[in-house]
Structure 1
Amino acid sequence: MTLENCTLRLAANDEVAVATRDLTAGTVLAAEAGPGLEVRANVPRGHKIALADVPAGTSVHKYGQSIGRALTTIRRGDHVHTHNLGMDQVQQDYAFGTSRITPQAPAGERPTFKGYRRANGKVGTRNYVGILTSVNCSASTARMIADQFRGAALDAFPNVDGVFALTHGSGCGMVLGSSGAEVLVRTLRGYAHHPNFAGLLVLGLGCEMLQTERFLDADTSAGFIERLTIQDSGGVRATVKAGVALIQKMLPAINELERETVDVSELVLGLNCGGSDGYSGITANPALGVASDLLVAYGGTSVLAETPEVFGAEHLLTRRAVAPEVGQRLLDQLAWWQDYATTGGGSLDNNPSPGNKAGGLTTILEKSLGAVAKAGQAELSGVYGYAEPITNRGLVFMDTPGYDPVSVTGIVAGGANVVCFTTGRGSVFGCKPVPSIKLGTNTELYNRMPEDLDVNCGVIVDGDATVQEVGEQIFARILAVASGEQTVSEELDLGQEEFVPWQLGTVT
């Protein structure tokens, strides 16, 4: 075995490389140039091995950036992980707009997809009926209504993708007008306006603080909208009966809606990663970045999120900002998050999960540097608050937590009509009403969970494809899925329980 076919060094000045296979202590890796490397401790694949001695207290680099500080002296050939690598309080250079790149569309015919053009001009990639609840008190009733449309109930309506309930744990006991309440209102409004809904039944209890008129108006994408409250309808059983009847009345007309050819620029792509590992920043994330840049080049929109997971890499994004105020807004959000984490008794370096660490990620700095690769190279055109409507074209950022269901709920509320979700540990995730394309970072994972992943990006580290080639494959899959091809998450009917609005603020 050679150093070159067992490890990946990502930048010339990096003191560490990523193991591409399990390395056993005592193994000597020959080098094409220079001395070989003796492995001093077992290094699992995806983890880091030291290529040089690093004195205690010195920064350790990966991707050409600091990922932490040596807790003890690290010797060449050591396994580099939580036992000898800790956080590094690096002073970043927050230059604005110094590295702006505008991706150029390839020559040739513009891509298109088959979507549903709604009356308000938005384009959907699915044709769902949603039951949207204003308050947790109506959650069980909403599920009872949705359950009546399982199995063979929709066989006569092949163009209806499904009927499902979106329930949540709030809607009352809140301070209306507060930041927490407004986050929920924005989220529900975003879903009520989402173009993947052809029909909506909005269901409340009746006495809740969050009345439906706060988030539902005439400018929704859904052509068929009904409202019910349990108290006015005569209780749970009567409401279920009434709700089923209202949806049954919608179905024939919704089934008549047809897909039409639309330009690729109508796509709004949500970018998310979960269960990341040491390969995430090498395979799936940069490949998704290629697909994101292609979409942006054609005039579409791509949404990066998960604010705690850009901490330590934010300077790379501010340099891509189209204006200083765009970069500053990102920094302001990060400052809020640092205060938020401290108030809660933690820090942003709490973020790498046990699964992340088992997969080879050590600090939030390392995780973030790999995570931002999902955003490719395009300039940053806007920064949005959680669940705010996305109006910019190009690459934008949305402030969300790193917790996947909460993050993607905000992205979808903002208008994403396709989501790409990268994972190295094997996240099982869906996000109705939007299809979620799951991208595995390594071949071992893809072979172990083939029914839960759409694309194997592990072929990059296997040497069977380039990042560019896999990125183009992902872009083609995005177009196919936007046109109606089912993802593995949709085949498993995932995504109803993953509607999790971010809960903030006082509960009274």
Structure 2
Amino acid sequence: MNTAAGAAAFTIRMHPADNVAIVANDGGASVGAVSPDGLTLVERLPQGHKVALQALPKGSEVRRYNVVIGHTAVDIPAGGWVNEQRLLMPEARSLEGLPAANPPAELPPLHGHTFQGYRNADGSVGTRNLLAITTTVQCVAGVLDVAVERIRSELLPKYPNVDGVVGLEHTYGCGVAIDAPDAIIPIRTLRNIASNPNFGGEVMVLSLGCEKLQPERLLPPGSIPIADQRGEAQDVVLLQDEKHVGFMSMVDSILTQAKVHLERLNTRQRETCPASDLVVGVQCGGSDAFSGVTANPAVGHATDLLVRAGATVMFSEVTEVRDGIDLLTTRAASTEVANAMVREMAWYDAYLSKGMVDRSANTTPGNKKGGLSNIVEKAMGSIVKSGSGPIHGVISPGEKVTQKGLIFAATPASDFICGTLQLAAGMNLHVFTTGRGTPYGLAECPVIKVATRNDLARRWHDLMDINAGRIASGEATIEEVGQELFQLLLDVASGKRTWAEHWKLHNALVLFNPAPVT
């Protein structure tokens, strides 16, 4: 859909009440380009950016998704460019007087969908069979890196049923206010990641010895139910133990302990599991104006299918849903769920206030280059990943999800922190939409990436797993791409590799630590 001067300008309007639309042409549209409904562009507009469908005098409401995303700071003629510099962002919606829980009807059940997964002793199911080595402090990271490389080269070839080894490295554990109230967030995050379903209940810990986050504090008795069911103590390798003489003594000790876990993991076999055993985290990063038009609505359709099949789906990113809080409380399955969402929004408002910023700090230069003028517009496109059904529950950062259905897992919007917290919640499969493009991946969990635009899918053909840009070009419907994603989720859960897995693209775990650093 490339456009030269005077050619057609293809635009997408999200709601009949909208007074702006986005330019859909690859490469944008030039001055004089005419849309099918007769609108002539008076400025050149990049792809994804908003064109005024009527004259908008200074102070006019600007509507997209039938939501006021701002007010014009200057006069903008019909066919003119509505962008960040010409738009004043509205105040955040008050958390008082929000619509009460009035959820839509429960979605009809969907039966008969299965995948091949690894059943754990606690009933959870892994989509991968990984040995994970938990760490208590960043100080041990270098030793762990050496040990992991040796495990991969020397041990894994002997255990063909094990998919890999993952070092759960992080930047926490010492030099922190370990008893501060908010320290519970990073501590429970690490604790719950250790019991992620993809690790098969094999709990192995690498500790330095003098850190504040001692192993018994990170993993107190009873915190990891699978290991406890075997009646075993936590498996801890302590680097400062006097038995270690020299660096290789430490590394050899890690390999010796790893063999015990690899032996058990290697006996595991995939078995048929219902789709209800999936715990899917959905997220977006490098978003653009097409995110809310193509990829996120398709993910929303897949979300509905997963919930109908009995699965758990988590949507997150507090600042990227904050401006739609009234839409969320309306969909809450109960007053308690609505109140919990408001609680998480209020907590995060206060957190941002301490740093003397607000939700507007969320949008990135890439978001704006992709046509998103502010966080209000971005939020409207982000929320649709949650589908159309009732919201069944809410969890705070670092908590583990314990129920089925659609869950709001409160996290920052940072890609890496959100992914880390969704892993802690029990995610065994991840969906990530992007418009600008990102090579994001996780070693701990398969990541399916969905492109919002045809051009991105063409250029990054071996990084994007699904092209939702076909929705904008009329080659596929939202429902068709959503169904395609649903089937791909089942296939990947059964062992099919994603592009991120193919290239071994793994981002670091990044903990959310709002507590002080000493």
Q: 1:342 to 1:445 in 2, by over 3 A?
A: same
Q: Does the alignment pair 1:204 with 2:215?
A: no
Give the 5 Å matches for 1:322-471.
Answer: 322-471=333-482
Q: Give the equivalent residue in structure 2 for 1:213.
A: 216
The one-letter code matched in structure 1 to 2:283 is N
Q: Cα distance, 1:91 vs. partner?
A: 4.7
Aligned to 1:37: 39
Q: Deviations over 1:246-289 (max 9, x none)?
A: 21343233222101111111111101100000100011101000
Partners of 2:496 and 2:504 in 1: how far apart?
A: 14
Q: Which moved more, 1:232-241 or 1:188-197?
A: 232-241
Structure 2 residue aligned with 1:46 = 48
Kindly indicate whether residue 145 of structure 2 is the aligned counterpart of residue 143 of structure 1. Answer: yes
Encode CA deviations 1:394-452: one digit per residue, 9 max, x unaligned: 11111111111001100110111111000001111112211111111111001111121
Q: In structure 2, give the amino acid aligned to 1:98.
A: N
Q: Which moved more, 1:177-186 or 1:159-168?
A: 177-186
Distance 1:4 1:303, change over 3 A: farther
Q: 1:229 is matched by which residue type in structure 2?
A: L
**Match for 1:7 among 11, 30, 48?**
11
Alpha-carbon distance between aligned partners in 2 of 1:171 and 1:482, rounded to the nearest angstrom: 33
Of residues 274-283 and 133-142 in structure 1, the stretch that sits farther from structure 2 once superposed is 133-142
Secondary structure class of the residue paired with 1:380: coil
Deviation at 1:141, TM superposition (A): 1.2
Match of 1:27 among 14, 23, 33: 33
SS at match of 2:99: coil
Separation of aligned partners in 2, 1:227 and 1:90: 48
- In structure 1, the gaps of 5 or more residues are none
Equivalence for 1:187: 189
Q: Which amino acid aligns with 2:239?
A: I
Give the share of equivalent positions with the same residue, in percent. 37
Q: How many residue pairs get matched?
A: 501
Aligned to 2:235: 226
- 2:33 and 2:41 in contact (8 A); partners too: yes
Pick one of 459, 479, 482 that aligns with 2:490: 479
Counterpart mapping for 1:113-262 below 5 A = 113-151=115-153, 153-198=155-200, 199-216=202-219, 217-218=221-222, 219-221=224-226, 226-232=235-241, 233-234=243-244, 236-262=247-273
TM-score, length of structure 2 as denominator length: 0.93
1:55-92: CA deviation from partner (whole Å, max 9, x where unpaired): 22222111111111111122110111112112012656
Q: Aligned-pair distance for 1:157?
A: 2.2
Q: Which one-letter code corresponds to 2:238 in the other structure?
A: T
Root-mean-square deviation (Å): 2.0
Aligned residues of 1:3 and 1:37 also touching (Cα < 8 A) = no
> Which whole-Å CA distance do the structure 1 matches of 2:432 and 2:29 have between them?
29
Unaligned runs of 5+ in 2: none
Q: Which moved more, 1:479-488 or 1:53-62?
A: 53-62
Letter of the 1:266 partner, please give it. D
Quote the Cα distance in structure 2 between the aligned partners of 1:100 and 1:215.
41
| 1:505 matched to 2:515 | yes
Q: How far off its partner does 1:393 sit?
A: 1.3
Task: Decide whether the 8 Å contact of 1:430 with 1:436 is kept in 2.
Answer: yes
Alpha-carbon separation, structure 1, partners of 2:367 and 2:195? 35
In structure 2, what is the Cα distance between the partners aligned to 1:18 and 1:105?
36
TM-score norm. by structure 1 comes to 0.94
Aligned CA distance change for structure 1 residues 236 and 324 (closer, same or farther; 3 Å): farther
The one-letter code of the counterpart of 1:412 is L
- With 201-210 and 248-257 compared, the bigger mean Cα shift is at 248-257
| 8 Å Cα contact 1:59/1:88 also seen in 2 | no
